[in-house]
Amino acid sequence: MQLFHTLRELRAFLDGCAGKRIGFVPTMGNLHAGHCQLVTQAKGRADIVVVSIFVNPLQFGANEDFGSYPRTLQADCDQLRTVGADVVFAPAVDEMYPDFNGQDLMQQVIVQPPHLADILCGASRPGHFAGVATVVTKLFNMVKPDLAVFGKKDYQQLMVIRTMVRQLNFGIEILGVDTMRESSGLAMSSRNSYLTPEQKHQAAQLYAQLQQILTALKHGRRDYITLCQESISSLEKQGWQVDYVDIRSQTDLSDPSPDKTELVILAAAKLGNTRLIDNCEVNL
């Protein structure tokens, strides 16, 4: 497995891979079994798999955890080696953003996603998905993959990227992979490391609420707003600070009509200081 820190090194390697199918898994590091599953999926569909590890400053808000986000490059590389990644690309900030001084976004080219990025997580994290779209666009330009693999846990992110790839004519196949979970049902996440053992046990309540809504939908309930409000109230009584619980269309995250059959239940909430997201697809 090769480890590169500069675009020059990466492109020199990839220039020697002409005719091979390139798979790509973008990450921010602090990897877990869910990330490894993305690499495994890419390995089954590509000749060469590139994994990026880059904590992207553009997608963090002013009071978010950019400075404290875990940087675990050696441990990440050890994991990636075991699942057969071919290349790890771990650039510095100035390699990704040559003119970015950490403050003045007016000097930085930003990829602005459509309205899809302004709802749900985008409503409470303004600018987040513009940061995601910008860094993914830059990474696509650097790696030039045929296939890129993303987890469905960040469902809205996956939808933003699919839309961006389609509208900007990237010609890259985007594969969404189902969320891996702890035995409790808790979605695997890099931010789970922030949780205390007690909080980690309690965090499974989020997915349990989504499952309750799923069961209600399968039993015929279509009062979406009431279902979500019941879930929010239950979580708040258990000590959560709820950002949203919502039911949307799988295809474009629009508000679904009562006869819609392909739905996704999405939630974001804070447990202590840790913001967790989760979702559950529903096919009625």
Q: In this predicted structure, what is the pLDDT of residue 63?
A: 82
Active-site amino acid positions: 35
Rounded Cα distance, 163 and 144, in Å: 18
Summarised one tens digit per residue, pLDDT across range 51-90 is 999 999 999 988 898 988 999 999 999 999 999 999 999 9
As a whole number of angstroms, the distance between CA 202 and CA 200 comes to 5
Per-residue pLDDT tens for 111-133? 999 999 999 999 999 999 999 99
**How confident is the model at residue 61, as a pLDDT?**
86
- Look at residue 62 in the predicted model and tell me its pLDDT: 83
User: Nearest Cα to 199, choosing from 262, 134, 281, 275?
Assistant: 275
d(CA 278, CA 181): 10
* pLDDT at residue 99, as a whole number: 83
State the pLDDT at residue 107. 73
pLDDT of residue 100: 77
Mean pLDDT of the chain: 95
- Which of 21-30, 104-113, 129-138, 206-215 has the lowest average pLDDT? 104-113
Q: At residue 171, what are phi and psi to the nearest 5 degrees?
A: 70, 30
Which ranges in the chain are annotated with CATH 3.30.1300.10?
Answer: 190-283
Chain CA centroid to CA 261, Å: 25
The H-assigned helical ranges of the chain are: 7-15, 33-43, 73-82, 93-96, 121-124, 128-143, 155-167, 197-218, 224-237
Q: What is the reported pLDDT for 104? A: 59
CATH topology classification for 190-283 = Pantoate--beta-alanine Ligase; Chain: A,domain 2 (3.30.1300)
Residue 270 token pair: 């804070």
Question: In whole angstroms, what separates CA 82 from the centre of its chain?
Answer: 22
The predicted structure's pLDDT at residue 105: 59
Output the pLDDT for position 173.
98
Q: What is the mean pLDDT of residues 161-165?
A: 97
How far apart are the C-alpha atoms of 170 and 163, rounded to whole Å? Answer: 11
Write the burial class of residue 103 (CB in 10 Å: 0-12 exposed, 13-18 middle, 19+ buried). Answer: exposed
The domain 2-177 belongs to what CATH superfamily? HUPs (3.40.50.620)
- Between CA 265 and CA 220 the distance in angstroms is 15
Considering only 85-94, 99-108, 127-136, 155-164, which range has the smallest mean pLDDT? Answer: 99-108
Q: What is the pLDDT of residues 202-247, one digit of tens each?
A: 999 999 999 999 999 999 999 999 999 999 999 999 999 999 999 9
* pLDDT greater at residue 108 or residue 279: 279
168 CB neighbour count, 10 Å cutoff: 13
Q: For residue 204, which of 248, 246, 235, 243 has the smallest C-alpha distance? A: 235
CATH 3.40.50.620 in the chain is located at: 2-177
The pLDDT of residue 103 is above 70: no
- Backbone phi and psi for residue 20, each to the nearest 5 degrees, phi listed first: -100, 150
Confidence of residue 106 (pLDDT cuts 50, 70, 90): low
Where does the pLDDT of residue 102 fall: very low under 50, low under 70, confident under 90, or very high at 90 and above?
low
